[in-house]
Amino acid sequence: MKRFIYAIALFLIFSVCAKAQRQTDASKKLSLAAYVISTLYVDDVNEDKLTEDAIRAMLEQLDPHSTYLDPQEVKDMSASLDGNFDGVGIQFTMTNDTLYVIQTVAGGPSEKVGILAGDRIVEINDTVVAGVKMSTKDIMTRLRGKRGTKVDVTVLRKDVSDPIPFRITRDKIPVYSIDASYMVDKHTGYIRLSRFSATSAQEFVEAMLKLRRAGMKNLILDLQGNGGGYLNTAVKIADLLLADDNALIVYTEGRRSPRTEEKTSSKHLFPDGKLVVLVDEGSASASEIVSGAIQDWDRGVIVGRRTFGKGLVQRPVPLPDGSMIRLTTARYYTPSGRSIQKPYTKGEAKAYNEDLINRYNHGELSNADSIHFPDSLKFYTLKNKRVVYGGGGIMPDYFIPIDTARYTDYHRDIAAKGLINQEVTSYIDRNRKELNANYKNIDKFIATFEVDEKMLQDLKSLAEKEKIKYNEEEFQKSLPLIKAQLKALIARDLFDMSAYFKIMNQYNDSYQKALELIGMQEAYEQLLKGK
C-alpha cells in the first residue's frame, strides 16, 4: 500500500509541473498506478485525503523540513509571515470559557467601535461563545474574515448592567514581529524579534531609529525562541548591523541549486557600538543566519545556548487547490563556510525532533563542557580568527546554562492550566480603575507594584479547584517566577508587550549577562578576540 501512496504523490507533482515535456518510465508507472486505483479499486476512495496522505508520506522519507501544508495551513503561515491578516483587531485570552479582551489594536476595527480591554465577548454573530468550551481556533475563525465584511459581537462590560452590541467592520490587521523595544539605560537599547516576517526589516529600522534618537549607543538583540522566517528578511537585518560593504552574509548551495551569495550593501544602520545577540535552543533558521554572520565577522558577542541547527532552505511549490509543498532545495552556510544544519537521517523525523530532549538529558543545556565538536567542523572567524564550529547550530561566545532552579512540577501544572493568566484577568477586572489611576507609566509600575498575598492565595485556590495538589516546597521554590509572571502579565495588559519584557528580563540570565558585558569593555573585547 505504501508503494501506491508514494506513486500517487509523485503523480500529483508531475501533474503540477506542466512544463515537463516528456515522461520517464517511472512517471508512466506512477500515472498508471493512480489510474488503476481511481478506476478499479473495490470501494469508494476519498481521493483528496488519499492524495494528501500520499504527499505527506513521501515527504517523510526526505529531510525533516520538507513538508506539505493544506490550504488552511498555508493561510495561517502566510498571516504570520506576511505581516497582516484580515480581522477585528483584538488580543484575547480564554478565561473560564469566556473570551476576554486583553488589548485592542491601536486604530483597529474593534478600537474604532469602542471595544475596551477587559470586555468579555459572549456572542459572535448570534452564536454563543461563552461557557461552551469553544476552542481558540474556532473563535479566530469566527472573528476573522475578508476586509470590509462585518461581524456582530455582544459584549459584557464590568459595571454595565446590560450586554452591549457592536458591529465591527473587518480590516487589515498588522502582525508585528518586534515584541519589545526600549531603552535599558541611557546608552543601551533592547529589541526582541519574534520572527522574520515580510515587515520585520522595516519594523527593525523604525525601532532602531527611535532608540538612537533616545541615545542608544549599544544594542541587545534578543533572538531567543525565534524560529526563523524569510531568508531575505534575515539578510536585510544582518546588513543593517554589519560594518563592511560587500561582505558575505550567507550563501546557499544544493544539488540542483548553484551557489548563491547574499552580501551587504552600504546601508549600515548600526555598524559600530557594542552588540550582543541573545540566542537559545529555540533560535533557528533566519536567527542563525543573523547570529552566524555577526559572529563570523566579529561584529558582536553571541550570548546564550547553542541554537537549533536548521540550515535547510525550503522552496514553496504551490498546488492548484491552495495547498503547498515546501521542498528542501539547498543548504545555507555562514560567511566562514559553516553549515548550520544539525545531522539527520532521512525518514527518521522522530529522532530529529527529539534532539532538544537529548541535549537536555546529556547535560548540554546546563553545561557547556558537555558539548564536543570534532576538529573537522572547526572554522575561523574572518577578522579575529577565533575558532568557531559548524555542523549543528551557532555555539554562543558566552554560554548561559538553562535556568531550572525556579521551575517545579507545581508551577508547570498551574501554568499549563492557564491559571496564572486567569488570576491576572480576574485581578485586573476587579482593580482596573485603580490600576489605571495609580500607574500612568511603566517605570512607576515596575518600581512600586507588588504582587500581594491575596493574589497568591487566589492562585492557590484556582489550583485547588483544578485538583492540582499543593506542594509548599515547590511553591516557595517557584515563588519568584510566579510573582514575576503575574506582575509582567498585568503590565502587558495595562501597557504593552515591551512592559512585559521589561519585567521578565530582570529574571533572564542571558539578558543580565548581556548588560554586564556591555558595561565591561575589556570582557567584551576579550570575547571578540577569542580569549
| Residues noted as catalytic | 285, 296, 310
User: What type of residue sits at position 320?
Assistant: P
Contact between residue 11 and residue 30 where contact means Cβ atoms under 8 Å apart: yes
Tell me the DSSP string of 388-409: EE-SSSPPPSEE-----SS--H
Sequence-ordered strand ranges (E) for 386-479: 387-389, 398-399
DSSP code, position 87: E
Max distance between CA atoms of the chain, in angstroms, equals: 77
Residue 102 half-sphere exposure toward CB, CA atoms < 13 A? 17
Which one, of 403, 431, 415, lies nearest residue 485 by Cα? 415
Helices (H), 253-367: 286-296, 349-353, 355-361
Other beta carbons within 10 angstroms of residue 216's beta carbon come to 23
Which one, of 332, 330, 266, 324, lies nearest residue 296 by Cα? 332
**Cα gap 171→144, rounded to integer Å:** 9
Contact between residue 406 and residue 400 where contact means Cβ atoms under 8 Å apart: no
68 alpha carbon, distance to own chain's centre: 20
211 alpha carbon, distance to own chain's centre: 23
Q: Determine the 3-state secondary structure of 297 from DSSP.
A: coil
Contact between residue 238 and residue 294 where contact means Cβ atoms under 8 Å apart: yes
Residue 451 half-sphere exposure toward CB, CA atoms < 13 A? 22
